[in-house]
């Protein structure tokens, strides 16, 4: 897909993107990268790299362990810090800015805010998200029942450690996108919310 660059005089955007399961985060991040030259850097990918190097595994329990080790030994917002550092090598190729996605704690959002960024949170009705999850059938996202989906979401949303609560980011986000829409409309609304021209 051809990239439509924003004006070179426009200030690069710094976006922190968080949200609930299957609420459109990855679709939005891909759209921003392809259409607006805004580099997408996933904190999840950063954790996977560290986990593979240290433990030779990217299974979910190892990813949790690795992420928490990074936070405990470096800083609570380290994943966003690492993502922003990565962007330095992409600046020339992606003048539109950077979208850091996948963080799960406000401390990680704060690192983006400190650099002048905007926090975007995507959400959608839980049953809508469950149906999307079933249809995309990613590894580690295979649920037999709606109840299993709800239980997994509750567990990963700060049930053990309230400092790492995805839901805790939503009320403090600068932009909240409720994605009970078809993809094209969701992307259009998202671009408008970010002040981007179609």
Lowest-confidence segment of 1-10, 119-128, 138-147, 153-162 by average pLDDT: 1-10
pLDDT band of 197, cuts 50, 70, 90: confident
| DSSP single-letter state for residue 96 | T
| CA-based nearest residue to 157, from 23, 16, 48 | 23
Whole-model pTM: value is 0.86
Tell me the residue length of the chain: 198
Q: Which residues pair with 97 in a beta bridge?
A: 13, 38
pLDDT per residue over 7-26, tens digit each?
333 689 999 999 998 899 99
Tokens of 140: 């580690």
CA–CA gap between residue 118 and residue 13 (Å, rounded):
8
Can you tell me which residue has the tokens 């939005």? 28
Can you tell me which residue has the tokens 């595994």? 57
Domain 14-188 carries which CATH code?
Answer: 3.40.50.300
CA–CA gap between residue 188 and residue 197 (Å, rounded):
9
Looking at residue 141, its pLDDT comes to 56
Q: Where are the domains of the chain?
A: 14-188
176 pLDDT higher than 70: yes
pLDDT per residue over 37-73, tens digit each?
999 999 999 999 999 999 999 998 899 899 999 999 9
CA–CA gap between residue 50 and residue 66 (Å, rounded):
7
Average pLDDT for 71-96: 95
Residues near 107 by Cβ (< 8 Å), separated by ≥ 6? 71, 75, 76, 77, 163
Looking at residue 168, its pLDDT comes to 84
Which of helix, strand or coil describes residue 143?
coil
pLDDT band of 140, cuts 50, 70, 90: low
Average pLDDT for 120-134: 92
| DSSP single-letter state for residue 124 | -
| H helix or E strand, kind and range, residue 193 | helix 183-193
């Amino acid at each position: 897909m051809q990239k439509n660059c924003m004006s070179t005089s426009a200030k690069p955007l710094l976006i922190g993107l968080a949200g609930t399961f299957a609420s459109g985060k990855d679709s939005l991040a891909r759209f921003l990268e392809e259409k607006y030259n805004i580099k997408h850097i996933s904190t999840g990918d950063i954790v996977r790299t560290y986990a593979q190097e240290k433990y030779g595994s990217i299974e979910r329990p190892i990813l949790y362990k690795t992420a928490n080790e990074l936070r405990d030994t470096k800083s609570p917002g380290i994943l966003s810090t690492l993502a922003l550092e990565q962007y330095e090598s992409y600046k020339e190729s992606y003048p539109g800015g950077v979208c850091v996605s996948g963080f799960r704690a406000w401390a990680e959002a704060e690192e983006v805010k400190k650099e002048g960024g905007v926090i975007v949170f995507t959400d959608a009705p839980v049953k809508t998200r469950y149906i999307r999850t079933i249809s995309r059938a990613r590894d580690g996202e295979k649920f037999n029942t709606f109840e299993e989906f709800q239980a997994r979401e509750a567990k990963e949303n700060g049930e053990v450690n309230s400092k790492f609560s995805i839901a805790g980011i939503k009320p403090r986000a600068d932009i909240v996108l409720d994605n009970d829409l078809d993809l094209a409309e969701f992307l259009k609304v998202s671009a408008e919310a970010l002040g981007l021209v179609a």
